[in-house]
Structure formats: C-alpha cells, structure tokens
Amino acid sequence: MSTAQKKVITISRQLASGGAYIGHLIAQKTGYRYVEREVLHRAARELGVDIRDVAGQDEKKSGFVESLMKSFVFGTPEAVYIPPARRPVYDEELYEAECRIIRKIAERSDIVLVGHAGFSVLAGQPHAFHLYIHAPKEFRVSRLSAFHSLNREAALAEIDESDQRREKYLRSRTGKEWHDARNYHLCLDASILRFEAAADMIVNLVHEAKQR
C-alpha cells in the first residue's frame, strides 16, 4: 500500500493535558498503531547511543552542552569511578533521525503519533489529521500532582518548564509556533469533555473528514 493510502493522526499536547491518554483511546477505537516512545528508542539505536543519552533532548531544546553534561555521572569528591565518555548527540542530529523513523513508520502503518513534532514532520500528507490538545493550567496542575504525588508548586514549576522548553524546541526545529492553530486541523481543550467522549468525537471527526 502506498504512503498516501496510510492514515495518520498526530497529537501535539501540553504536559498533563491528557493528550497521550486520549491518543491511546483513539488508537484503541480505530485499530491504528500507537506511536510515542518507540520513535526515541529507535532513534537512539540508529545513532548508536544509549536511550539515556538522548531522552532529555526529545521535544526540548537542550543543546550540545547540556547533552554532554548529562553523559557523566557525578559522585562525591572522593569517588574514584570515572564513567566512560559517551558520544554526544546534537539536537539536530536527533531530530533528523526521528523524522526519518516517523516517515518510515507512517509508510507502513495507520498510526496515532503523539509528540515528536508530528504536525510538521508529516505536514501535507494527504491522509494526516493533526490535533493540538491543551487545557487550563490548573487542570493540568491537578492531574500532574495526582499522578506524581507532587505539591502544587512543584507541579506548576514542572509544567511551566515543560511548556517553555517544548515551545523553544519546536520553534528551533520546525520554524513553527507550537500554539499556532493554523498548524492543526483541530485544537481541543481537554478539560471540557470526558477523555472517552473526546476520543469518540475526534474519531468521528476524522472519519467525516476522510469522506470529503
């Protein structure tokens, strides 16, 4: 089957908005392959590095210096163990590897792709539907606090940092603004619906769009 015949739903989402959970529900309802962490794992293998070396760079603008610093384990001043140096991976190198992997997966399967700048990587694909899932900050703080046993201040700080870094990363890699509605076919405030209802609505909308 040709690339144009494959169906793709991409989901860009704010941290703790429920986007990944909604993505799982959509994949279950459509039978599409759910793709998220697989992209980073495959990119690490392709680049010949450990997943831990690049995990902090995915959808973030970490830069070379930060990635290099993360390749060392810091102990006490008395520590005698010096870990072996690992090959540093530049953000652009990782992003290009992820783009290749995403396109390969999309050539072979109908997919729900969460994150990884999917709206940009697969822009223009005839059977792609791009979503942006967001929610009010207090809704997200409440969810993150509950899932990770964080107090409000810690959850809020994590959300603010995630938003800032993801926005910078996507701008630097794609040249597009993360929050720009023109990048997507649908922007949804996930706080206004039950996640199950949101997934049903999206599946129905995607189905209707494909009939046009």
Domain ranges across the chain: 3-61+89-211
List of residues 6+ apart from 5 with CB closer than 8 A: 127
Residue 43 burial (CB count, 10 A): 26
Q: Is residue 179's pLDDT more than 80?
A: yes
Q: Please state, in angstroms and rounded to a whole number, the distance separating the CA atoms of residues 125 and 127.
A: 6
pLDDT band per the 50, 70, 90 thresholds, residue 60: low
Average pLDDT over residues 97-123: 97
Residue 18 burial (CB count, 10 A): 24
Class in CATH terms, 3-61+89-211: alpha beta
Encode pLDDT of 118-176 as tens digits.
999 999 888 999 999 999 999 999 999 999 999 999 999 999 999 999 999 999 999 99
Assign residue 19 a region: left if phi > 0, alpha if psi is -120 to 50, beta otherwise? alpha
Average pLDDT over residues 27-46: 96
pLDDT at 144: 97
Residue 146 burial (CB count, 10 A): 11
Q: Please state, in angstroms and rounded to a whole number, the distance separating the CA atoms of residues 212 and 207.
A: 9
